[in-house]
Amino acid sequence: MPQAIRCVLMRGGTSKAVFLRENDIPADPGGRLRTILSIFGSPDRRQIDGLGGADPLTSKLAIIGPPREDDLRAAGTHLTYTFGQVEIDHPQVDWLSLCGNISSAVGAFAIEEGMVAADEPLTIVRVFNTNLNRVLTIEVPVLEGRPAEHGDYEVAGVPGTGARILVDFADTAGGATGALLPTGNVVDRLDVPGVGAVDVSLVDIGNAHVFIRAADMGLTGTESAAEIDAQTELRQRLELIRGAAAARMRMIADASRSRQDSPATPILGLVAPPADYLNHLTGETVPADAIDLLARLQFMQQTHKTYAGTSTVCTGVAARIPGTLVHAAARQRGGAEIRIGHPGGVIETETLVEAGPDGPVVRRATLGRTARRILEGRVFIPDPAAAGA
């Protein structure tokens, strides 16, 4: 008999994930991996036999558990949250990264599931993220005892509007590498075999990132995801740079194994000064005065069709640190808001970075998103014996 596991499918920002309760899936790593791969239909490029959407943005997982009482960092939190980036054509799950978009849906899930008492008009959900061992603070609008979904907040890349959920990632600074600036430098020069010397800014908040100038790769920063992905040699060079950055940040031991050992992070960002460009989802022109910088992301060896939530936060913070490549590319307008022009429109973040005795200190790093509960039910896991395994 196939096994049935309760699941919820939720959209968070521009991503979509399967939500599972921690106690509903095997605790041992091997059994857990087999169960997750079966749920998503991986490995298979179409994920035809599971819930995966055949795209990195829709092959995501959130595992939700009770609060941890044995971890001092988790004190005062309502629940634990583990994010998994499920590989599409490889039998593995990347547990090293965090998805900001899906994080925005975690608070709404917790309220809907009765894990957190609903408090109108705004419920504060404190979440201990196990990927980074840091705390996320999520502000969820509530109406009539349930997470509000209707509102006037727009998210580029998502049809319509919704109620704004605010996620503060300030506590995640240094979560992956131990420091906001992993090498202590605002700019490092990497000598990358097959590429040459490349200037990079290495910044770690939300997820570890490596930022490079779009111009150094022969790009303007206005390109669509499809235009970048069509350049096979360019993508190979970008992965070599990402691997070298991962090794420099001591995330992996061997730069040549970046694809195998840490496929999701660090995320690579290409940055450029503001310019008019085409929103490749709507066909409309985004004027230069509507953004503070241009950015394009490499995520899971593909160009992100919009912009990752954690990358929004990290880009905004990097834009506030004098000397980084992002700061050099960004228009400095004053105030807390940074507006990032991506292939599908504009995304903004509020950041507050102060100078500290040991370097910059992040006081605020927010992401505004919307979320929606799409489906709840049971997903069936095939019986290995019946399948002849």
Measure the CA–CA gap between 44 and 195, rounded to whole angstroms.
32
So what's the pLDDT on residue 334?
Answer: 84
What percentage of the chain carries pLDDT values higher than 70? 98
Beta-carbon contacts of residue 136 (< 8 Å; ≥ 6 apart): 81, 103, 106, 126, 127, 129, 167, 168, 169, 171, 172
Query: What does each C-alpha distance from 332 to 238, 271, 319, 328, 336 come to in angstroms?
Result: 28, 15, 8, 9, 10
Peptide bond preceding 360: is omega within 30 degrees of 0, i.e. cis?
A: no
Asked whether the beta carbons of 292 and 275 are under 8 A apart, the reply is no
Q: Output the pLDDT for position 156.
A: 86
How many Cβ atoms sit within 10 Å of the Cβ of residue 386?
Answer: 9
User: 74 phi and psi, to 5 degrees?
Assistant: -90, 0
pLDDT (tens digit, 9 = 90+) per residue, 41-84? 999 999 999 999 999 999 999 999 999 888 888 889 999 999 99
Average pLDDT on 22-30 reads: 96
The CA distances from residue 363 to 23, 83, 274, 350, 356, in Å, are 35, 24, 26, 10, 11
Place of tokens 């169960």: 35
User: Which residue reads 């310019």 in tokens?
Assistant: 275
pTM, 2 dp: 0.86
Which helix (H) or strand (E) is 134 found in, with range?
strand 134-143
Query: 175 with 377: CB under 8 angstroms?
Result: no
In this prediction, residue 221 carries a pLDDT of 97
DSSP 3-state of 166: strand
Average of pLDDT values for 318-342? Answer: 95
Confidence of residue 347 (pLDDT cuts 50, 70, 90): very high
What is d(CA 382, CA 384) in angstroms, rounded to the nearest whole number?
Answer: 6
User: Taking a C-beta distance cutoff of 8 angstroms, is the pair 320, 369 a contact?
Assistant: no
The pLDDT tens digits for 276-312 are 999 998 999 999 999 999 999 999 899 999 999 999 9
